[in-house]
Structure 1
Amino acid sequence: MSWTAATLVTDGGEVLLRGLPVADLVAAALAVDADSRPEYTAFLHLRGDRETFEAARSLCADADPVRRELGADILGQLGAVTLTAQGAAVAVPREQRPFRTPAGTLLLELAATETDAGVRAAIAVAFGHLADPRAVATLGAWRTHPDAEVRRSVAIALAPLAGADDDALRYLVALTADPDAGVRDWSCFGLYQAGRDTAQVREALLARVGDDDAVTRAEALRALAGFGEPRAVQPLVDALATAPETDEVAGLLAEALSLLADRTGDPRLTGP
């Protein structure tokens, strides 16, 4: 996507997305399916201003769950990116985003009454982008939600919080045993991101090295390798002896091999 050249075809001709008013960007986002929507929400994030925040507030109060979901999507990354004079996108640190705290407050208010699974998933993802510690209790309550997409979103959201919050870490550990493979996968990845080396974390990850899902196994091995866990050596050797199912799995196992060989010096990993 070109931040400076991306356009939208309207009745009045082709116009630059970057220059569209907030209302037009919202309308464009709502006119496409969920997979195409980020092309438009990205430009709402880029604006990062009061007008866009108020538009998101209005969307969150709408009776239509699709509009509430869009409101949550906007709030999660409002002001998260800016452009250089050359048109290159640059991430804005969370603590420098002026609407981070009010966005979190608004999302907490929405979460308190929201019942739609799709909106809850969007709220959870937004909490993850904001890394708002006030959201931990809500995310913990949703970790057993019957919808797997909500639980996956919770796992994603907990990762940036688990590095400093014990409850977030505990919830993330619990999600490594979720019945859904995607939730287990993201939970293992989240523990790798959090970097909290505890006995509970290691045991949870070791329980996943024999998982039925190849990505979950590889994520668990990569996380354990980051901790230099010697009990991960043989499972990694066994995994490397079998052709990986996907390029993603191959990449994770290769990273695990490099990390664990460096941290343990085990000859089974370093070769002759």
Structure 2
Amino acid sequence: MNNRSTPELIALALQGDEEDETAWEAIRELRERGGDEVFQAAVTLLHSESSHERGRGTDILAQLGGRKRSDALVTKCADEVLSALSTEQDAAVLGSMGAALGHLRDPRAVAALQPFEDHPDADVRMGVVMGMAPHRTPAAIQTLIHLSRDRDEDVRNWATFSLGSLAEEVDTPELRDALFDRLTESDAELRGEALVGLALRKDPRVLEPLRRELEGNTVIILAVEAAQALEDVSLLPLLLPLRDGPGEADSFFRAVLEEAITHLEALTR
């Protein structure tokens, strides 16, 4: 990819559907390449009559410049996305714009995305979650709390993760209650995100639900991480059989489990 010209990469970025791997390889190369030529090409796409092209322009601007991008470039990209957001109607593009603003971490995104929190399309509401995730203002947290109760499971999951783990430094009764409400979810991962969030805040209500998760037939990594975060040594007898007893677990699970056991054992000394 790095031997191709910018116009060639743009052409590749526009091929296929939204998940086309070659297109995404081209987008990643354009992001890393950066520069005014790529910026202008992305802005041109952003104002295209084609929703597919507008989405791809958004995807490029989201991380233009890679890890070495300057604050000035980030602001320029955010300016373009925010301006286009105000008139965009396509749900897929709106979702991409929300995700892009999350990467750009521009504080103006909070007010710009709030009107979309109840959009009928789940992709748009997911974009709102992504755009709000880096921010810790009351408005951003309130929006994430609202979306943690969304009718779409994936939206609830990402909003719960954003509140529980990403916003670890924020601790309010309303946020804790929002996490607690997710402990009745049928999806284990979603419950796990809520467990971790409550455990990080040392909420005593999480102890019994966490015990039930650790006693279940299938224990997920998030439950083990929650046990470590809660730092309640009464959970050690539930962790040790996971390490020493029968059952299958991959190497990553075993590493997380060993770390949690070591951490809790150290608290008993």
TM-score, length of structure 2 as denominator length:
0.83
Does residue 256 in structure 1 map to residue 226 in structure 2? yes
1:23: which partner in 2?
A: 7
SS in structure 1 opposite 2:130? helix
Task: Please identify which structure carries the higher strand content.
Answer: 1
Q: Which residue in the other structure is 2:152 paired with?
A: 180
User: What is the aligned counterpart of 1:193 among 162, 166, 171?
Assistant: 166
For residue 39 of structure 1, what is the aligned residue in structure 2? Answer: 25
- CA distance in 2: counterparts of 1:68 and 1:231, whole angstroms: 46
Shift of 1:138: 2.0
Q: Which moved more, 1:96-105 or 1:130-139?
A: 96-105
Q: Which residue of 2 aligns with 1:271?
A: 237
Compute the RMSD of aligned alpha carbons.
Answer: 1.5
Counterpart code for 2:155: V
Task: Deviation per CA, 1:128-176: give whole Å up to 9, x if none.
Answer: 0001111111221111111111111211221111x3x211111001111
Amino acid at match of 2:147: L
Distance in 2 (alpha carbons) for counterparts of 1:178 and 1:190: 14
Q: Counterpart in 1 of 2:103?
A: 129
Identify, as 1 or 2, the structure richer in helix.
Answer: 2
Distance 1:158 1:212 in 2: 25
Residue identity over aligned pairs, in percent, reads 37
> In structure 2, how many angstroms separate the alpha carbons of the residues matched to 1:23 and 1:220?
45
1:65 aligns with 2:51: yes
Aligned to 2:38: 52
Q: Aligned partner of 1:251: which letter? A: I
In the superposition, the TM-score normalised over structure 1's length comes to: 0.82
Matched AA of 2:204: P
Verify the 8 A CA contact 2:195 2:226 in the aligned structure 1. Answer: yes
* Count of aligned pairs: 234
2:196 maps to 222
Provide the C-alpha distance between the structure 2 equivalents of 1:258 and 1:23, rounded to a whole number of angstroms.
50
1:99 matched to 2:65? The reply is: no
For 2:42, the aligned partner's letter is A
Q: Find the aligned partners of 1:234 and 1:51 in 2 and give their Cα distance.
A: 57
